[in-house]
Amino acid sequence: MLDSWASGPTKTAIVDFVERVTTDGPDFVAPEARVAVFDNDGTLWCEKPMYIQLDFLLRRFKEQADADPALRERQPYKAAYTGDLQWLGDTVTKHYQGDDTDLKPLVAAILTAYHEITVDEHASLINAFFADALHPTLGRPYTACGYAPMVQLLRYLEDNGFTTYIVSGGGRDFMRPITGPLYGIPPERVVGSSVGLVYRDGHLYTTSTPEFLDDGPIKPARLWSRIGRRPILAAGNSNGDIEMLQFTEGSSGPSLQLLILHDDADREFDYVAGAEKALELAKTGGWTVASMKNDWTAVFD
């Protein structure tokens, strides 16, 4: 049980919470109401030096820049063509600090990268990517970049009658092909950002029209529309998860807010950029902060 979690206040807080809500008494929660939601990037798997989905998209951007030299002077195609991971990392950090100047051209490129293909073709491209791609600095297959302690937490919660969901800013249809083998979470329990779809001739086709960017205050709205229950446990790692954690905190009964702190440069990464506000709220709100360095005996399997 939670073998990759070190003994200490964080593990104790998790176990005590689960025992309280599953044992007869004032804090008991019926199994159907035991809903736990998890962010994905930086919470269940690595998000540095860039989101894994961005690596998938960068390969497409480079293909487009190879075919059209004019794109090589425009972001994000320029970053993809030159291998500038710093620009991409800074774009995400600036977003979580309230500056979307660079995010707008990135989103525009994302929306047109794979439009007008079927959802089945899209899933095949994603599966092919995960079959070969390695993390650029850790040298591990992306399929081995899931955090062992968090996967154990998912199983522990499910063994205690919880239903677990992913609620992420990442692309819903990018995550769905991999969440089953990586986390044991089926596609119908994945909530994420999405583009519009159109039905034609027996197939669903992607469009270049955004449907939802499942981040910040959109997260509680989207999880409610999909799940129809207020979670009693939420886990995240950045400012983009604040509203989801607060929504869980507003439960009329017991709840647990878990924030992952990336502070282990030896085994993963050490950074707080993009999580500053969340960490401050954790201090004042009594949220549980899980230190990778101190609370995890192992990061990866």
pLDDT tens for residues 114-142?
889 999 999 999 999 999 999 999 999 99
Beta-strand ranges (E) seen in 136-188 are 163-171
**Residues 39, 27: Cα–Cα separation, whole Å:** 25
Closest CA to 181 of 97, 301, 14, 61: 301
- Determine the average pLDDT of the residues in 9-33: 98
Print burial letters for 129-161: b (CB count within 10 Å at least 16), e (below 16). Answer: bbeeeebeebeeebeebbbbbbbbbbebbeeee
Q: What is the pLDDT of residues 23-61, one digit of tens each?
A: 999 999 999 999 999 999 999 999 998 899 989 998 999
Whole-number mean pLDDT of the chain? 94
Taking 80 as the threshold, does the pLDDT of residue 89 lie above it? Answer: no
Taking 90 as the threshold, does the pLDDT of residue 88 lie above it? Answer: no
- Determine the average pLDDT of the residues in 229-258: 97
Closest CA to 21 of 202, 248, 246: 248
Task: Identify the pLDDT of residue 18.
Answer: 98
At residue 298 the predicted structure's pLDDT band, cuts being 50, 70 and 90, is very high
Percentage of the residues of the chain whose pLDDT score is greater than 70: 100
Closest CA to 160 of 300, 33, 43, 298: 33
**Residues 1, 129: Cα–Cα separation, whole Å:** 33
Taking 80 as the threshold, does the pLDDT of residue 85 lie above it? Answer: no
**Residues 135, 138: Cα–Cα separation, whole Å:** 6
Fold topology of 9-47+145-295: Rossmann fold (3.40.50)
The tokens describing 58, both together, are 């960068």
Measured distance between the N- and C-terminal CA atoms of the chain, rounded to whole angstroms: 15
> CATH 3.40.50.1000 residue ranges in the chain?
9-47+145-295
Task: Identify the pLDDT of residue 83.
Answer: 84
Q: What is the pLDDT of residues 192-221, one digit of tens each?
A: 999 999 999 999 999 988 888 889 999 999
With a CB cutoff of 8 Å and minimum separation 6, the contacts of 8 are 294, 295
**Residues 295, 260: Cα–Cα separation, whole Å:** 10
Taking 90 as the threshold, does the pLDDT of residue 106 lie above it? Answer: no
**Residues 276, 69: Cα–Cα separation, whole Å:** 39
At residue 84 the predicted structure's pLDDT band, cuts being 50, 70 and 90, is confident
Taking 90 as the threshold, does the pLDDT of residue 185 lie above it? Answer: yes
Task: Identify the pLDDT of residue 271.
Answer: 97
Distance of CA 172 to the CA centre of its chain: 10
